[in-house]
Chain A
Amino acid sequence: MKNLSRWYVAVVLITLATFVAGTGCKKKGADPFPKSNAVAGWEKTDETRVFAAKDLWQYIDGDAEQYVAAGVVNAATSDYKYQGQLEAVVDVFTMADAGGAAKVMGAGQADAKSVQLGDAGVQQAQSVIFRKGPHYVRIVAYEATPDGPQALLALAKAVEVKL
């Protein structure tokens, strides 16, 4: 009976460990870009493009240097549109480690409001920026609208939970 209990506990623990590991692996490879309508009002309007560190210049030209210097592994980007009008871009930079993400995010931005996102987040009228572990995320809208900040924050939160 005792042996049976031990076996039972072992099976449960193994199952649990497998589940956790599986969830972790799934989360690591998870697409951080919310699908259309996963966030109220937001439509994903473009394919996700991924740039390896060596090719990052194709996306952001000279800007790539600062990310390379901070140890970027890759960058992924996609376009979104809110309520058919407000266009925005989501950039997810995956760095070698959390230190790299902190480095590119920098010390802070003037006039930016702190928001509870990841390990650190700030928001301005047309952008939300945060870092979580090795990920540095920029979400930028192309124009300012009254409901833009709230919408951007909602999108950012949806990205954050996927990281």
Chain B
Amino acid sequence: MGSQSKLGLSAVFDQHTNGAKSRVVVARDTALHGSTSQPDEKRVLHLLDRAMASYTGRNVPIEAWKHLLPQGKVIGLKVNGLGGKGISTHAALVWAICERLQQAGVPAGNIVVWDRNARDLQACGMTINTSDRSKVRCFGSDVAGYEDHEETWGTARIRLSKLLTRECDMVINLPILKDHDQAGLTFSMKNMYGVIDKPFLLHANGCNPSVADLNCIPAIREKVSLTIGDAISSVYQGGPGFHPECLWFPNALIVGEDRVAVDHTAWQILESKRAEVGLSTLEAAGRAPRYIATAADANHKLGVNDPRHINLKEI
């Protein structure tokens, strides 16, 4: 994987200078849902394994995870339950990741599944566990609280969840792919709105440059180092809430360390679906996710959005 193998922003910053590309893997399983509205858990685990094997170049699942994980650390899984039960990060994906993390040597109590609050976590099918370290823990910022001091970066002036600042050493980002009626797209970078106390303050101008600014906050930039994006189901219009008439099943995972490249890839998938059903592009609809380009600019340097610099592997 070359410079891609180490988690951290220096690897992403060096993309243009040393010619290395940001790797993104899109793994699909057209039979993931079968005949039900819920994905098959075994197939989700297998899909995860394929995605991680492709991303890391290591075919044995445990080895793939060991390659990415720091030793002896608390790993947070930031899900997204805002859309309610109809369109939230799938429990099958969360549990698949938890299973592999534990097999890779992470104690159950060192895994924390988290989001804004208990309700959002329950929307993802989670059960709250704040203190039993014999099991995977699961609780929200409504329990952990927010830091007293404000962090500032550009337009972002916020207080961070203590789950990010004090509980987790590393965060794996598990966003759910959705259309967003202001930002255009909500996926990896926008999922960080669930990490702060007042996300409603960052919605002006289609959330641009606020999404990019927020992801430059050091704790977010440094700790949120891998995205395993949930594109198992999605809404192509009317998001971020649940609109069943716009529900579709990409049956995919989108994996990458470069959050900008991941979001750019997700955007293309969303646009493709919109075109398929006869909807205008997000640009034509007046809500292109401009924050993606902003995140890639010389000021933010969060990653790459130029397809020429993205090594996209579809499996």
A119 within 8 A of B: no
Bound complex: CA A60 to CA B87 (Å): 12
Taking chain A's interface residues, is the majority helix, strand, or loop, or is none over half, making it mixed?
Answer: mixed
Q: B37, B84, B86, B181: which contacts A62 (Cβ < 8 A)?
A: B181
A94 within 8 A of B: no
Q: A60, A62, A87, A144: which contacts B244 (Cβ < 8 A)?
A: A144
B89 within 8 A of A: no
Question: Are the CB atoms of B245 and A61 closer together than 8 Å?
Answer: no
B199 within 8 A of A: yes
Total B residues in contact with A, Cβ cutoff 8 Å? 20
CB distance from A136 to the nearest CB of B (A): 14
A-B interface pairs (CB < 8 A), number:
54
Decide: A62 near B182, CB < 8 A? Known: A124-B245, A127-B244, A140-B244. Answer: yes
Bound complex: CA A64 to CA B241 (Å): 10
Residue in A closest to B117 when the chains form the complex, CB atoms: A58
Decide: A63 near B37, CB < 8 A? Known: A57-B199, A111-B245, A126-B245. Answer: no
Residue in A closest to B279 when the chains form the complex, CB atoms: A110
B267 within 8 A of A: no
Residue in A closest to B241 when the chains form the complex, CB atoms: A63
B26 within 8 A of A: no
Residues of chain A lying within 8 A (CB to CB) of residue B85: 87, 142
Question: Are the CB atoms of A62 and B242 closer together than 8 Å?
Answer: no
Residue in A closest to B242 when the chains form the complex, CB atoms: A140
Bound complex: CA A157 to CA B156 (Å): 44
**CB under 8 Å from chain A, chain B span 234-260:** 240-245
**What are 26 A-B residue pairs whose CB atoms fall within 8 Å in the complex?**
A57-B199, A57-B200, A60-B82, A60-B240, A61-B82, A61-B240, A62-B180, A62-B181, A62-B182, A62-B240, A63-B240, A65-B182, A66-B181, A87-B85, A112-B245, A124-B245, A126-B245, A140-B86, A140-B242, A140-B243, A142-B37, A142-B84, A142-B85, A142-B86, A144-B37, A144-B244
Add 16 more A-B contacts to A62-B182, A142-B84 (CB < 8 A).
Answer: A57-B200, A61-B200, A62-B181, A63-B241, A65-B182, A112-B245, A124-B244, A124-B245, A125-B244, A125-B245, A126-B244, A127-B244, A127-B245, A140-B243, A142-B85, A144-B37
